[in-house]
Amino acid sequence: MKTPGEDLAKQLMIAIDGPSGAGKSTVARMLAARLGYSYVESGAMYRALALLALETDTPLDDGPALAALAEDAEMRFEQHGESNRLLLNGRDVTEAIRSSEVTRAASLVSVHSEVRRRLVECQQVLGREGGVVMEGRDIGTRVFPDADLKVFLEASPKVRAERRFREIANGVKANREEVLREMTQRDQRDQFREVSPLIPAEDAVRLDTTDLTAEEVVEKILSLVRQRSGVQIQDSEVRSQKGTGGEKRG
């Protein structure tokens, strides 16, 4: 919800990057709601492509074939109240892209330069008007190197794995050690891939969320937003989201 002052302000492009479990999704969603901005979860696009690849038996190591798949796919985000839905060729895949199989496949799909080129283009279109909080791994370095504000969220591997565990353990048999092991593997792939590896942009503000709740992180980012835009932002709405922090994906 916007305050009157916010309507007059510049619509910023805010990039939030970091490894999984650092709190990106929760924080980006809350921040976007607070500012009346749209929220783009770029990881969901890699996940949707991975889902499509699994469904069409496209080999996960075939970059050109995966890029061709991405070229033909239509991905659209729709805001339904608090929930951000992803439609893949008109089909709501919001839940389907969260399975462990898709999580594993998305990590493999995202290493290919051809795939990244295509999805980065789509992300640039989604964010070009500003008024957007976009989260991912390379938003501040590659997708929007000129973003108005870049934040890089970090947290200890143990806390990140615990957040991920709580997210997937809901009704599913999961093992803490296995979650930590698989997350470490994906982290490595993100950090050491040739194209757009996960590194903080030089001008990113780094925030360690290990001991912070999501609303505390949002507060810190809002103070950066205030500094950069001169916007008056009310405190009440952030407080009203209390209790949603730290437990969700990110």
Minimum CB–partner distance for residue 240 and ligand DC (Å): 26
Could you give the CA distance from residue 196 to residue 142 in angstroms, rounded to a whole number? 7
Phi, psi of 83 (to 5 degrees): -95, 135
Minimum CB–partner distance for residue 2 and ligand DC (Å): 27
CA distances from 221 to 61, 80, 112 (A): 38, 24, 32
Phi, psi of 184 (to 5 degrees): -65, -40
Minimum CB–partner distance for residue 249 and ligand DC (Å): 7
Taking each helix axis as running N to C, give the angle between helix 214-229 and helix 24-35, from 0 to 180 degrees, rounded to the nearest 10: 50
Please, which residue, 147 or 233, has the CB nearer to ligand DC? 147
From the list 18, 43, 131, 245, which residue makes contact with ligand DC (rule: CB under 6 A)? 43
The first and second tokens of residue 225, run together, are 């937003």
Residue 167 interacts with ligand DC (CB under 6 A)?
no
Residue 215 interacts with ligand DC (CB under 6 A)?
no
Binding mask 10-39 for ligand DC (x = CB under 6 A): ----------x-------------------
Could you give the CA distance from residue 46 to residue 82 in angstroms, rounded to a whole number? 22
Please, which residue, 2 or 96, has the CB nearer to ligand DC? 96
From the list 84, 110, 141, 209, which residue makes contact with ligand DC (rule: CB under 6 A)? 110
Binding residues for ligand DC restricted to 48-87, rule: CB under 6 A: none
The first and second tokens of residue 73, run together, are 């796919």
Residue 107 interacts with ligand DC (CB under 6 A)?
yes
Could you give the CA distance from residue 135 to residue 65 in angstroms, rounded to a whole number? 26
Among the listed ranges 52-60, 106-114, 229-237, 239-247, the one in contact with ligand DC (CB under 6 A) is 106-114
Binding residues for ligand DC restricted to 123-162, rule: CB under 6 A: 136-138
Strand partners, 151: 16, 205
Could you give the CA distance from residue 54 to residue 107 in angstroms, rounded to a whole number? 13
195 neighbors 111 (Cβ within 8 angstroms)? yes
Among the listed ranges 26-34, 42-50, 77-85, 202-210, the one in contact with ligand DC (CB under 6 A) is 42-50
From the list 16, 18, 26, 47, which residue makes contact with ligand DC (rule: CB under 6 A)? 47
Contacts 24+ apart (CB under 8 A), 236-241: 237/1, 237/33, 237/34, 238/30, 238/34, 239/215, 241/30, 241/33, 241/214, 241/215
Residue 42 interacts with ligand DC (CB under 6 A)?
yes
Please, which residue, 18 or 131, has the CB nearer to ligand DC? 18
Kindly determine how many residues on this chain lie close enough to bind ligand DC according to the rule CB under 6 A.
13
Residues that bind ligand DC (CB under 6 A): 20, 42-43, 46-47, 106-107, 110, 136-138, 186, 190
